Each structure stands twice: as structure tokens, then as C-alpha cells.
A and B are shown apart, each in its own frame.
Chain A
């Protein structure tokens, strides 16, 4: 991994690992890991250098997400989701309120959440029912019935999408930053899931009113294509890589123990382990290569808006989501009964359950459906 942030990422991972089982069983946000992220100044790490930040590249964010994700996928996901929102601030915003929010991230390590899905739109974040309203000059208001807002109650600000006004079609969306103190959350359901239980992706009716300089400059279609979607896919994939690597580590440790018991007579798992390592290497290469791809074109709107870029970012998500499920199940076979049990140090219970969400949260089939017409128009970039 790149050296610049390795020690700070490892410090957060150590805290995240310590509380991972409790976060999972209580289905609560990884608050200790969030505190560690703030202490290590890793929530502001992506703020560009020209604004006084450290300017972490997508490749560097990817490395950090993997390190934390290997310790606790919930903490990794919070890191991932926060940065895919944070990047929006300076890539798509210039108004005074947006700049103030960026400074809050930089100076006070604000944690950013997002509310993009909504009841009645079938999980398509590129459509909104709710509309932004302008109750007084300089003010903007929104009420959103959101089936999930991850770690909403721990967020210092939530980025919310809505139709640009009450007369706009459902795809004509803008995004507004709602800082704490200016939004109200009414909980309508709790997140009780098989895995990633600590993302606390509860349901809320969010009501917010804030200053209209909290609006992002670009329409949400552009924000989504250029930043929100590719960075979410890349950073989630990086977390999944972390889950896979921690399962593979458990497999390696198991085979090493078996090998010690009969030196010179390799246990059957050794071949399976060799195969697992090949899969993990190719998974890692895919994720890191794609992160570097984003870094290369990050400032080029034409490249970011191209069909081949959209296809490749969807591809890394689909590939990674399938790979993590495959890898943890292969690791489980190798680790055997100690991994299947939930009360052993070798248990893979969390890794298996956390991985199973990957092809479902933003369903792979939805992405493939989105890719299907594009696939007729563009070749794969080789």
C-alpha cells in the first residue's frame, strides 16, 4: 500500500477491529472507528492541497478503505461513503455555504452522509419525487421520505437530492447540503440486515431548510456520473477487497497451522489456498487499476462523461461484488468448521454476511441493465 497514510489507516483499523463484533451484533454505527478517523484526520484527507488539505488520490483512498474494511467492513463503508460525498463539495461546488462545509470537513473533520434514494422511485437515485422549495429569498427547503440514510444520526451534514423545483421532471435533480442543526430526522424504520449491520442504514423522513448557497453548482446527473457513482463504486470495491483479504488471511493461517502438524505432507487446503491467492491478486489488481484510472481522468469532464468510463466504473463494481462473495466462500471452505462457527477466533461469520450485501446494494442487475444499451454503443477500453 502507498506509504503516505499507511500508519494512520492502521491506527483506525486497530480501533475498528476491536469493536467490530459489537458493532455487528448491536447493529449500531462504528462510533469508535469514526472517532479514530477524526483523530487521525482521515475524514479530511481527500481535501485538495489548494484548499489546505492533503489531496489524497483515489488510489490512496482505495488503499485506506481496504485497510479499514479488512478490520471492520462497517467502518470501511463509512469511510467510503463519506469520501464519495466529500469529493462532491470541491468537484461540483463553489458557493459560500459549500465552501464553509468544506472548511468544516478540513478543520473539524465533519462526517458527511447522503440521502439520495427515496420511497416510490424503485431504488433509482437518478430520480426524485421530492422537490426543492424556496420558501423565502435565499432559502431552500426539502422534505424527503428516505428508505435508507446510512449513519444519519452520526452525520455532521447530509447531502440530499431533490427535483430542482416542484414543476421539474423527476430526473431534473439538484443536490443541497443540509448541515446539522438545519435538518430534522424522523425515524420510520431501523436497519436490521444480514450483514453490514453497523452502517445503521435506517429509514427517515428528512426535513431540512437551509441557505441556498448550500446548493451544489452542477445538476445531479453530472455529479452522479462524474463523481458520486464512480467514487462510490471504487471505494465500496476497495472495502470489499478488504473483506476478501481478511477472509483469505484466516484461510492462510489455517493452512499454515495444518502444515505445521505434518511437515512435508501439504494439507489439501494448500492447493485451494494457492488458488484463492490468485483470485485475490486479480481482484486487487482490478480495484487498484480502476482507482488509478479515475485519478488519470479526474479533471477531464469529457472523459468522465464518456460511455466507456461509465461502463468501466460499473464494471469494477459488478466484478468486485461478485469476487468478494466468491472469495469469502472459498476461504470458508478452507478454514472449515472453525470458520463456520460464530464463536471462534477463526469465525468468518461477519465476512460472509457482509460480503453478501455487495451484489445487492445497488444491485448488479440494475447496473447491467444500465450498461445494456450502452454496450451497443461503446467497446470495452482495453
Chain B
């Protein structure tokens, strides 16, 4: 767990709430919930990605831009950690 963990997860949940177009409220989801099982689509991932990048001032590297990065809040949080490491 890094110093950013809490803020990162907040930013992820915020982005999902605003742009995720999920069929359940984000507050009800666990960090491990499979987002694609609650209505997340590959089209919606783009805006979620942009919102997270904008909120945290990071940029996901190309090698992380695949489905497994967006599968859960947990997965997104670790992708953010990796992105920070590369900046």
C-alpha cells in the first residue's frame, strides 16, 4: 500500500460513477468486483481512463491499455501504481 492508495481508489470510483455507465451504483461494488459483469464496456473504458488520468495527472502506458487493466477497481489501482513508477 502506498501513500496514494486512498486517493487513487476515490478517483477510480469517481471516474466510474461519472463515465462507467455501470448498471449498479459504484458505492455497492467491492474493489474486486468484475466491472464487466456490471455493465462496463470497452467503449466506456476510454472515458474512465481519461478521467483517471486527468484526476491524478498520470498517463497509462500503452502496455497497460488492455481489458485486464479495467477489470476491477483493484486492477485499476495497481495500473495507476505502475503508471506512476514509469513517469
Q: CA–CA, A259 to B53, complex, Å?
A: 11
A259 to B59, CA, bound (A): 13
Q: Which bracket fits the contact residues of A?
A: under 10
Is B51 part of the binding interface, using a Cβ–Cβ cutoff of 8 Å? yes
Residue A263 interfacial (CB < 8 Å): yes
Within 8 Å CB of B59, what residues of A?
256
Q: How far is the CB of B59 from chain A (nearest CB, A)?
A: 8
Instruction: Give every chain A residue within 8 A of B54 (Cβ-Cβ).
Output: 260-261, 263
Partner of B19, one of A256, A261, A263: A263
B4-44 vs A, CB cutoff 8 Å, 1 = contact: the mask equals 00000000000000110000000000000000000000000
Cα–Cα, bound, A366→B53 (Å): 50
Q: Is the interface of A mostly helix, strand, loop or mixed?
A: helix
**Per-residue CB proximity of A240-272 to B under 8 Å, as 1/0?**
000000000000000010011101100000000
Contact across chains for A260 and B53 when beta carbons are under 8 A apart:
yes
- Complex alpha-carbon distance, A309 and B79, angstroms: 48
Q: How far is the CA of A256 from the CA of B47 in the complex (A)?
A: 10
> What A residues does B19 contact at CB under 8 A?
263-264
Interface residues of A in 260-318 (CB under 8 A from B): 260-261, 263-264
B82 at interface by CB-CB < 8 Å: no
- Chain A min CB distance to B54 (Å): 4
- B53 contacts across to A, CB distance below 8 A: 256, 260
Question: What's the least CB distance linking B12 to chain A, in Å?
Answer: 14
Candidates B18, B50, B51; contact of A256 at CB < 8 Å: B50
The residues of A that contact B51 with a CB separation of less than 8 Å are 260, 263
Determine how close the nearest CB of chain B comes to the CB of A255; give it in whole angstroms. 11
Which residues does chain A contribute within 8 Å of B46, judged by CB atoms? 259
Expressed in whole angstroms, the Cα–Cα distance for A260 and B53 within the complex equals: 8
Instruction: Give residues in B with beta carbon < 8 Å to A.
Output: 18-19, 46-47, 50-51, 53-54, 59
A residues at B contact (CB < 8 Å)? 256, 259-261, 263-264
The 7 closest A-B pairs by CB, nearest first: A260-B54, A260-B50, A263-B50, A263-B47, A259-B50, A263-B51, A260-B53
